[in-house]
Each structure stands twice: as structure tokens, then as C-alpha cells.
Amino acid sequence: MELTAKERESLRVLADTIVPRTEGPLAASASDLGVPELAAQAIAKLPEDVQRQFRQLLRAVENPALNLLLRGRPSRFHRLDLDAREAYL
């Protein structure tokens, strides 16, 4: 199963939330280091049922109705600022 463009974007934002860009000479985010692409490759090698579950997770964080229940606001994860994404996770 190949991740959709929206799922890849969710994966990128999740990765950059966990490993945001740092300051200084070694400043790099997860995206800068290629983490989302490596994660997508690793996910593609998992059994189909696990891939399906991971894709459900990527869609769930972007679901406004679910986020209304979890956060009290109907927002999509990728539209939150870094502080709000960190609090979400």
C-alpha cells in the first residue's frame, strides 16, 4: 500500500512535531533529515493490516470531528502550530 499525498503530509507534520527544527549549526528537522520518507518506506514493508492501522492513525489526527472530541476544537493536526501539536501528542 502506498501512502496518499495527504497521509504523507500528516506523517511529515507528525515527524516534524516530534523532531522540530533546532537552532545552531546543526539545525535540522525530521523532514530535513528525511525521516518521513524513511518512515514511509518502513511502513510499506509492514504487514497489510499494520499498514492499514497506521494509515487510520494518520487520517485520525486530521479528522476535525475526532479532534473536537479530543481537543474541544474541530481542527486538523497539520493546521495547528507547533505548541498545539506538541500538546496534542
Q: Using one digit for the tens of pLDDT, what is the confidence trace for 21-65?
A: 888 878 899 999 999 999 999 999 999 999 999 999 999 999 999
pLDDT of 32: 93
How far apart are alpha carbons 21 and 41 in whole angstroms?
Answer: 22
Structural domain count, the chain: 1
Instruction: Report which residue type is found at 75.
Output: S
- Domain of 63, in residue numbers: 5-88
Radius of gyration of the chain from its Cα atoms, rounded to whole angstroms: 14
Where helices occur in 1-89 by DSSP H, the ranges are 5-18, 35-44, 48-61, 64-71, 82-88
Residue 30: Cβ-neighbour burial (10 angstroms; 0-12, 13-18, 19+): buried
pTM attached to this predicted model: 0.87
